[in-house]
A and B are shown apart, each in its own frame.
Chain A
């Protein structure tokens, strides 16, 4: 959102409260990711969804009960998903930024 589109003080809810539910989605925490990030290896994934449970943000994309990839918009590179992945040899590796998204 560009600066000139932010609302003025008269248009803001009193006391800094947030009235819309679920608007954390608008806050793209992946903007400040660390230098490493998760790389998913679909061929190894058993779709246990441990990564989805443990992810402290909304970086694990799930569809029809299956892991379908990583949403880097919300990934801070904490590595919890890779750490908790129970698969032998891991279905998620933490790698340098350019290797994960290539």
Chain B
């Protein structure tokens, strides 16, 4: 029996990890991820999981130990935020390139400098090209569900790639929300036993991992890694549908909220999508055809599917809680715009960078974006391609 409980986003993740009961967790605490590791270490101390819990001296070691455990044949997890992810960087790429199905909850937090502990997506957006699958979560329910699904996605034989499960630091990681938690027995069956086809501890079938790979082979190995990412979308969808059949909560690549006949639409990730939904409802009540698209899967990037649901809009605002310093807006913006390049009647697509370093974003801010979009839709022209929402001049 599933049960309705009140948990913070971090508690929800720790609960999912307890139910998955991975063989190895190697982690280092960092704000705002700390609770995840703290709660999980309590489960270890209380004997509620069989996990080998490795307390390491840094995130570089956390990811290294997780990679080692996964290569050895263990179901391995870690969790991090911001500077922790940055310190893991070298090994983050190795995890995906060695095709290790590690699951890592990431609690999104701004990167230094200046030092800041609050939410933006600069940390995981920086890792968007690291070969990890990325799932984003609006609330505690989604981060719980995504963590459960991530195990199945990562370990699927057609994928075998690591997965980041992202949620907004403090905004959802520390906020108490009602959610449905599945029972332990269900999750045990859902995750199933982990049986890797190859493992370093399989002494009867020795192998070499991480050997030198030069001009004559490296490109082919990258090509096969690309194929795994090409396959990942299909599996993310299939796992999301199977999860829906079993729990009543179906997941796809994104959530399209009142988007079908929308003239103006916002694309926004994670908790801000929750803030934007009542704004959409209020605009709809006034007869304005507003809609919302909340991407769930950012890697792989579901360009064709996104274009199919966005192409009917006249004007679209892509909202980025990260700055790419490309001098052409945040990281999601160019990808959405590029996805719409092949549609016949191109919507006008503009970018809003918002909420850096945890700067609050409320319904009034979102309403202002829709008001500007309505103008853009009317004239077919924009005055600014990139707007830094609410920044002081």
A89 lies within 8 A of chain B by Cβ:
no
- Give chain A residues whose Cβ lies under 8 Å from the Cβ of B206: 21
B180 lies within 8 A of chain A by Cβ:
no
- Give chain A residues whose Cβ lies under 8 Å from the Cβ of B208: 17-18
Interfacial residues of chain B within 205-240, with CB under 8 A of chain A in the complex: 205-211, 213, 216-218, 220-221, 223-225, 227
Question: What sequence of 0s and 1s flags, for each residue 8-52 of chain A, a beta carbon within 8 Å of any chain B beta carbon?
Answer: 111010111111010000000000000000000000000000000
B236 to chain A, nearest CB (A): 19
Contact B220 A8 (CB under 8 A): yes
- CB < 8 Å neighbour of B220 from A3, A9, A17: A9
- Give chain B residues whose Cβ lies under 8 Å from the Cβ of A7: 220
- Give chain B residues whose Cβ lies under 8 Å from the Cβ of A10: 224
B258 to chain A, nearest CB (A): 42
Contact B221 A16 (CB under 8 A): yes
B345 lies within 8 A of chain A by Cβ:
no
Number of interface residues of A (CB under 8 A): 14
A9-B223, A21-B206 known; A15+B217 contact, CB < 8 A: no
Contact B216 A16 (CB under 8 A): no
- CB < 8 Å neighbour of A6 from B198, B216, B221, B223: B216
Contact B207 A18 (CB under 8 A): yes
A15-B97, A18-B207, A18-B208 known; A9+B216 contact, CB < 8 A: no
The residue of chain B having its C-beta at the shortest distance from the C-beta of A16 within the complex is: B221
A6-B216, A21-B206 known; A16+B97 contact, CB < 8 A: yes
- Give chain B residues whose Cβ lies under 8 Å from the Cβ of A6: 216-217
The CA of A6 and the CA of B206, in the complex, are separated in Å by 23
Question: What sequence of 0s and 1s flags, for each residue 77-99 of chain B, a beta carbon within 8 Å of any chain A beta carbon?
Answer: 00000000000000000000111
Contact A9 B207 (CB under 8 A): no
Contact B221 A12 (CB under 8 A): yes
- Give chain A residues whose Cβ lies under 8 Å from the Cβ of B97: 15-16
Contact A15 B99 (CB under 8 A): yes
Contact B211 A18 (CB under 8 A): yes
- Give chain B residues whose Cβ lies under 8 Å from the Cβ of A19: 198, 205, 207
The CA of A12 and the CA of B225, in the complex, are separated in Å by 11
The residue of chain B having its C-beta at the shortest distance from the C-beta of A18 within the complex is: B208
B380 to chain A, nearest CB (A): 45
Contact B210 A16 (CB under 8 A): yes
- Give chain A residues whose Cβ lies under 8 Å from the Cβ of B36: none
B276 lies within 8 A of chain A by Cβ:
no
The CA of A6 and the CA of B210, in the complex, are separated in Å by 20
B160 lies within 8 A of chain A by Cβ:
yes
- CB < 8 Å neighbour of A15 from B216, B221, B227: B221
- Give chain A residues whose Cβ lies under 8 Å from the Cβ of B225: 15
A19 to chain B, nearest CB (A): 5
The residue of chain B having its C-beta at the shortest distance from the C-beta of A12 within the complex is: B220
- CB < 8 Å neighbour of B198 from A12, A17, A21: A17
Return the 5 tightest CB-CB contacts between A and B, nearest first: A15-B99, A9-B220, A18-B208, A9-B223, A15-B98
- Pull 9 A–B residue pairs with CB atoms less than 8 Å apart, ordered by A: A3-B216, A7-B220, A9-B223, A12-B221, A15-B99, A15-B221, A16-B98, A18-B207, A18-B211
Please give 18 more A-B residue pairs, beta carbons under 8 A apart, in addition to A12-B220, A15-B225.
A3-B216, A6-B216, A7-B220, A9-B223, A10-B224, A14-B198, A15-B97, A15-B100, A15-B221, A16-B221, A17-B98, A17-B198, A17-B207, A17-B208, A17-B209, A18-B208, A18-B211, A19-B205
